Amino acid sequence: MADEHTVTTCLVSFAQHNGFVNLQINNGPLHHRDVLSAGKIFFAPDVQLVDARVTFGSDGGPEDKPFDMVVLFDRGLHGTKECPYLALKLIDKEKIINLGREDYMNVMKSVEYVIARIQPADNETTECMATREDSG
């Protein structure tokens, strides 16, 4: 489709479907609801999908820029072994770009951060938007 493009993301799950996956997203300005809607294909139909953003700083290299890792997850399953996590790489706060093998460790750091910092759904006082500054 002309109004969509494909980006490579990473699905972290204890299920068979796991690893780098392609995701169709809309061209043009990035809207939060569009990202959540596109990501739903990797989750159960009745998912309560939320996201967290983990910010990584530049390592200082000439081609290196800060980026955010956006992690989508099922609010109801979060904190259980059944919960999948879908990571997307975001630069300039609005452009989703392909993840590559070199990003895998940052994906894992981001998912671990979300698991450690965001309480499971049974805690009503939980804030769902976690932010972490990391230098790499």
Q: Which domain does 119 fall in, by range?
A: 4-134
How many domains does one find in the chain? 1
pTM beyond 0.85: the answer is no
Residues 6+ apart with CB under 8 A from 87: 9, 10, 11, 12, 69, 70, 71, 72, 99, 107, 110, 111
Percent pLDDT > 90 in the chain is 48
pLDDT, tens digit, 9 for 90 and up, residues 18-74:
899 999 988 766 777 888 888 999 998 889 999 999 999 876 666 678 899 999 999
- Round to whole Å and give the CA distance between 37 and 21: 16
- Round to whole Å and give the CA distance between 90 and 86: 13
